[in-house]
Amino acid sequence: MNKLLGALGFVFTISGFLVTASAQDEVPQGWHLKDHQKDGLYGISLDQAYEFLKSKGLKSTPVIVGIVDSGVDTTHEDLKPVLWINEKEIPGNGIDDDKNGYIDDIYGWNFLGSKDGKENVTKDSFEGARVYWKFKNRFEGKTESQVPANEKEDYKMWVRAKQDIDKNASDPEETEFLKLLAEVFAEGDSVIRKDLNKEVYSCKDLAAYTPLAASANQAKRILVTTCKGNDNDDITNKMLMEDIHKDLDKATMGEQPPKNYRNDIVKDNYSDLNDRYYGNSNVLVDNESAMHGTHVAGIIGAARHNGVGMDGVADNVRLMSIRAVPDGDEHDKDIALGIRYAVDNGARVINMSFGKGFSPEKKWIDEAVKYAESKNVLLVHAAGNDAVNIDTAYNFPSTKFLDGKRPTSWITVGASGDEKAGGLAASFSNYGKKEVDVFAPGVRIYSTVPGGNTYANLQGTSMAAPVVSGVAALIMSYYPNLSAAQVKKIIEKTVSKPGIKTANPGGGPDVLLSDISVYGGIVNAYEAVKLADAESKATPVKPAGRKKK
């Protein structure tokens, strides 16, 4: 099952639910920034990092961080002061003032919308379903030996997609359970929304709510049980319903071709990467769509010490929003162009908290990553939340190019927790001795969410990656002469290694973090800035080029 449902591990019966996840102790808001020696929590020692920088008397320079995600709430009180603003554009005049091909791109760009801005993609299908139905007529009933040499890679991908569909559709009882769950929850949800006068509510909102209708009582039990199973009271009715429908979509994706959610709205020539000036300037779209990206943005750089909400990791950033990730699997073209947009508009770090199991146009992604590398940009990617070993499981975008080489400015991040928050390795996190570089806090992370200047706890490797992006931006802002490749190595070399075993997300005997990641530890901002200081002194500053007359 997907995210919330899979982590919950419940059994549905007419009489109710059985929770199999054990309750966890409370951790304070912002625990991910704490220091283990001082606070007893396996955070990133951020205060100590700032104390070190202050002792050096260093001044910082702004660093632009591109956030390729679902969108950002540009009105949020904790984000408005740190948003990237394209000063070369005149807002709302309908003219491409800076001649970059994107009209009125003030805060970034939305690659998931119509050119006139009237429609935007929110939901989309799974890439495996798109691959299966694209090649079904061409490959069904054939063996690899019957396929031309130039089509063998497509054939192998199609076979894998077919296997994925067969696996998801193999349990009719689970499909019926999901249909029943969706029906039961939807009926009670409509009553609760009316009673609370809220379209979106969380378990916190249900604490003082006593339903009168039996359907509402059942829906409350479903959501509360889900929150308990995931140890997160900020799970909302919308989040739960989305996960139920995602699992239903997976279970039935072999029955008919997926809808053209994106193509029907965007209307570009998808097969042509040079057809790149589609979309619109709306990077928010709606609160529900922007939930993920807004939370990520706050982790990286929400305004620090402003007396509201929470503090981001980096203190001198400009957050650029590139909307390219729908509710469903992202499209390779949007991601490739999103990376290029961020690079071309000055980003030095690009956060990528997304992923999928298929990448039909991987060559476009590879080219974009190589382009970013050539422009001295660091890419930070979330490892994924399937609790699998991505040394062997498919997980895209991946660091291994089609030509077998790897980028020098890319970090893959797994999610860590704490002994008070589920153990050192998050139970949901992907891992891999060869493919996951480092771990960073990704459990119960408190950050910005859209709508009314609000905040919530969310968890996932999607939350761990922006912790690392924030640390990278922090280093670059105080040590601008360091290259992206140097910053990558600094972060990797300075991880904290607790030296205690943790449950392996994939099951089996307990492991050290060094058994399930390349560098075997949790990102540490304090140790990173200390090494950055030393590396910076040893790195010559490139002289500024002469201006042409």
Residue range 376-413, pLDDT digits in tens: 999 999 999 999 999 999 999 999 999 999 999 999 99
User: What share of the chain has pLDDT > 70, as a percent?
Assistant: 94
- Sign of CA pseudo-dihedral 296, 302, 304, 305: negative
pLDDT (average), residues 465-491: 98
pLDDT tens-digit map of 191-216: 999 999 988 898 989 999 999 999 99
pLDDT higher than threshold 80 for residue 13: no
Residue 121 to residue 258: CA distance in whole angstroms = 14
Amino acid at 103: I
End-to-end CA distance of the chain: 63
Average pLDDT, the chain: 91
Task: Indicate left, alpha or beta for 205 from its phi (over 0: left) and psi (-120 to 50: alpha).
Answer: alpha
CATH code that applies to domain 34-41+59-121+268-486+500-518: 3.40.50.200
Q: Is 62 exposed, middle or buried (0-12, 13-18, 19+ CB in 10 A)?
A: middle
Mean per-residue pLDDT, 119-148: 96
pLDDT at 45 over 60: yes
| pLDDT score at 545 | 44
Residue 170 pLDDT grade (very low, low, confident, very high; cuts 50, 70, 90): low
Every domain of the chain with CATH number 3.40.50.200 lies at 34-41+59-121+268-486+500-518
Q: Tell me, what's the pLDDT at 167?
A: 84
| H-state helical runs in 140-236 | 152-168, 172-196, 203-206, 214-230
pLDDT of residue 2: 47
Whether the per-residue pLDDT at 549 is higher than 60: the answer is no
Please tell me the predicted confidence (pLDDT) of residue 191: 95
pLDDT at residue 258 is higher than 90: yes
Beta strands 445-449 and 454-458 are antiparallel
Q: Between residues 114 and 538, which one has the greater pLDDT?
A: 114
Which of the pair, 546 or 274, is modelled with greater confidence?
274
Residue with tokens 């948003």: 83
Query: In this prediction, what percent of the chain has a pLDDT beyond 90?
Result: 82
Residues 7-36, mean pLDDT to the nearest whole number: 55
* Sequential DSSP letters for 473-501: HHHHHH-TTS-HHHHHHHHHHT-B---S-
- Name the residue with tokens 């696996």: 167
Residue with the larger pLDDT of the pair 240 and 11 = 240
Cα–Cα nearest to 63, from 538, 543, 492, 479:
479
CA 532/CA 494 separation, integer angstroms:
10
**Type and span of the H or E element at 162:** helix 152-168
Check whether 418 has a pLDDT greater than 60: yes
pLDDT of residue 548 exceeding 70, the answer is no
Confidence check: pLDDT of 5 > 60: no
Residue 526 — very low, low, confident or very high, per pLDDT cuts 50/70/90?
A: very high
Residues 270 and 359: their CA atoms lie apart, in Å, by 14
Q: What is the pLDDT of residue 542?
A: 62
